[in-house]
Structure 1
Amino acid sequence: MGDQAAPAKHQMTEPLPAAARADVDALFESGELFRYGVEGDSPVTRLERTFAEAVGAPFALAVNSCSSALFLSLKALGLEPGARVIIPAFTFAAVPSAVIHADCVPVLVETGPDLRLDLDDFTRKFDDSIDAVLISHMRGHISDMDAIKAACDARGVPLIEDAAHALGATWRGRQSGLVGRVGCFSFQSHKLLNAGEGGILVTADEDIIAQTILLSGAYEHNWTKHPVVSDRFAYWQNRLPHYNMRMNNLSAAVVLPQVAEIPRRVAEGRARYGQVAAILSRAPWFDVPRALPHEHRAPDSIQFGLVGFEHDDQVRDFIARAAARGVKLDVFGLSADNARAFWNWKFLPEQAELPKTRALLMRSCDLRLPPRMNAEELDVLGDVIVAAAAEVMAGR
């Protein structure tokens, strides 16, 4: 089983669309990269309008990162310092960081074997001390939003969705990020839409959008340059600090023409995922999480659990054998200083031991599926992973 050809190396991102060049060239000519320095609609304003229409949200605010979107959303909820915010234990370090920046305390909840929120642990920890819930759709795996939303509504607790990995994914036919009070998305280079860095939040709440616009740095009356009409701006004017988290026009010009590409990119991502998942699912050593009944994912990577790997050395051997054939696999819990392993978040004000999540991450593989990889190369990719596991299991 050692003769599989190594898959070709690919860039992890698509080329930027040629349609972006006209706006970028105009910005170079004008030199006006500040969103509020442009007469009429700036590229950022057009992006907010276009994105809101594309996902079916009343309001959108483009900012400099998804982390900023999460932070601003928490601040707009009016939480008191020390407020306790539930987050999944399986997420990226930026999520608990945003909670801490907002002067709140992250409360970590276990993750189930399908990489989604463990609802039993969520129910145990969702007591009267909890002031908000922030759910990450980590790697595009959407948790049971019906159950989570019902629990939040029953207690009158606000719900925020971190949909950084879930643009194009749907829950009950609606874009992820629209179930809670606010949904936050990422435009970092390895996400579905690529601005290099950037993010956007969506909401139907006029108070939330007015506050987040002002908090993001819309000083004086620059809020009038947003595609939002609400009398809440007049109320919040001068009552809020400015955090200067605006998106600039160059980032918006780059990402704006990509919004129309969302359906194509999602369809192609699902096809790539389905092809590799089918190969791995036929082998006895892998557990590929299945979608929930109301979930339609938009994956750009694949995650799978290792079955029968009793010792860490076996896992490391498997990773090395795959790497020798040109396939780089990460195991969340065995990758040094991995920012998705909760025990590496030494900055947390409260350290927690979460045995289910720890065990899960010690046997969960993570693999990007580059958009430039063709069907033949995806077959090779899957076959290499199966062959590497077969060799390790044969030597037990």
Structure 2
Amino acid sequence: MNPPLPDSKAVVVVIDDDHHILELTALILSRKGYHVLTASTARQGMDIIATQAPELALLDYMMPEMDGLTTLREIKARYPDTYVIMFTGKGNEEIAVELMKGGASEYILKPFNNRDLIDRLDNVLRIREIELHNKALQQEHVRLLEEIDDWNQELQKRVREKTEALQKAQSEIAQSEKLAALGYLSAGMAHEVRNPLNSISLFAQLMRQNTTDQEQQEYLGKILKEIDRIDSIICKLLDASRRSRTISSDVQIDRVVDNAIDAFSPQIETGNIRVERRYHGVPPAIKADPAEVEQIFTNLFLNALDEMPGGGRLDIEIYEESGWVVVKVGDSGGGIPAETLPNIFEPFFTTKSRGTGMGLPVVQRIARIYQGTVSVEKTSAEGTVFRLEFPAVIQA
């Protein structure tokens, strides 16, 4: 446990009961300029963190004596400036969500790619630097507010405006980093789903070749068709996590909304929901991927229907305003509680027992991709209205 070398990039403690992983990780990181400390138990790792205050900790999920999740929570509670990256060989969504909620900054599946490991560490270090800098700015901001207590009302107003702008910028940075981490997680989970999906497809094809029963042939054909659809969704998920978008088509948003509503026709009919559409003329087109824009409204309509289990009204209004296409989606449900309203676009935040908390964050992510915005225009005990705005295509 020697002190870090003067030219080292950062101090990293690797906590894993597998000595091969310790040696391999230490070798990879040392070659890239990191000063590496190792521990084979969680307690040893905690002792190192207490004395050396490393910037990063690489922590195995499956640890003897004290498991990785418990260790993660203890590190975040006692040493918040040490950012934790979790190693695990179990790639399922429940573990990933649990780790991110526990305070993990990143999540890496074993076995890992050496280059990917370095990229992840460098990215977490950048996030850490930004967040610690923002924390210092916030502390300085509090000190300055105490000093200007006696200033006149006009100066207080200007300070308040600057503070709100800073908080908004910090919130957007934090949200962007969370969604970037979610992209890594999505790619990993997509790979995990693809392997069993390929096996199912292979067996279904073999069964189809070996049967002459017409009904079974039809059923197996439907199975293969649904497998292809799932695979197409996975391809889009992987593509979304790897590339920037190339917008190639003009989209009539009223048609996209109509398609999304049609998909919910059975739920609307059986749920005694009245749909009211107010389209003020034919709106201008927007530049976007129609499938992704439809996903926005699919998520919003799903939330709205969940809020009206005993029936109600779904309102959709579309119009143009100052070069923007505006869409309002309203429901007659119970509204959003004031205490949860600031968190509704946070990944994994949900008040539903069966929800994942990803519907509205996905809506916001897609809207931002196409220079759009989404916000809650109003909410009360009589219902909620979401407002979306997209830049209209300028006709030559």
> Same fold, TM exceeding 0.5?
no
Name the structure with the higher helix share. Answer: 2
Tell me the TM-score normalised to structure 2 length. 0.25
Tell me the TM-score normalised to structure 1 length. 0.25
State the structure with bigger RCO (CA 8 A, min sep 6), 1 or 2.
1
